[in-house]
Chains A and B, each alone.
Chain A
Amino acid sequence: DAGVIQSPRHEVTEMGQEVTLRCKPISGHDYLFWYRQTMMRGLELLIYFNNNVPIDDSGMPEDRFSAKMPNASFSTLKIQPSEPRDSAVYFCASSSQGAREETQYFGPGTRLLVL
């Protein structure tokens, strides 16, 4: 398994543009998480899904952010319109509610810069 896959790895855009980040979780995992990492705030949980259903989106900063999971193998995080303060590294992670030894597996992250 290639692990959690994210695309793009880097994104540079101008303020006001729409940004879409993509994630493919590990096959068989039933939880998917979106995180944002910044120097100031560390790692913040934005939203998570269980069996493709959004469970908790209280971490989503504002209405400009939205996330979807149309099927078990794909999720998107969209920012529209983007702002410079959205610049951060966005991580996707997946996990399984199976054996207790399971933990979160992180993707490589998407480094977003909004000019």
Chain B
Amino acid sequence: AQRVTQPEKLLSVFKGAPVELKCNYSYSGSPELFWYVQYSRQRLQLLLRHISRESIKGFTADLNKGETSFHLKKPFAQEEDSAMYYCALESGGSYIPTFGRGTSLIVHP
């Protein structure tokens, strides 16, 4: 069975500080990993996916198969980054994601 673990329910940082939201997964095959974000009063939306190897809004995430992790990082947090972040995993070809419980990021001015 596949599982996604986000160990932190809440992460609080100051503006300009680096931020790392942790995501660990368990899956025996080749996973596809995603980060979704939900800003206040907005709908949940895709932030980035590992296959794209892209940086969105300054965020990056690298799939580490050895550590089975897909941590989300940003070198300098901004207040507008405050949101709920969900890590998600799709097993190969399933199109059905398994979500973590989410991490609430608060960036203080």
Question: Chain B contact residues (Cβ within 8 angstroms of A): what range?
Answer: 10 to 19
Instruction: Count chain A CB atoms within 10 A of each CB in B34, B44, B101, B102 and give the residue with the most.
Output: B44
Is B99 in contact with A45, judged by CB distance below 8 angstroms?
A: yes
- Also in contact, A43 and B86, with CB within 8 A (given A95-B95, A103-B34, A104-B97): yes
Given A42-B86, A43-B86, verify A106-B45 contact (CB < 8 Å): yes
Residue of B nearest to A31 (CB): B95
Could you tell me if B102 and A42 are in contact, using CB atoms closer than 8 angstroms?
yes
Measured CB to CB, the residues of B under 8 A from A are 34, 36, 43-46, 49, 51, 86, 95-102
A25: CB under 8 A from chain B? no
Residue numbers in A under 8 Å from B44 (CB-CB): 43, 91, 93, 106
Main secondary structure of the interface of A (DSSP, over half): strand
**CB within 8 Å of B: which A85-108 residues:** 91, 93, 95, 97, 100, 102-108
CB distance from A91 to the nearest CB of B (A): 7
Shortest beta-carbon distance, A61 to chain B, in Å?
16
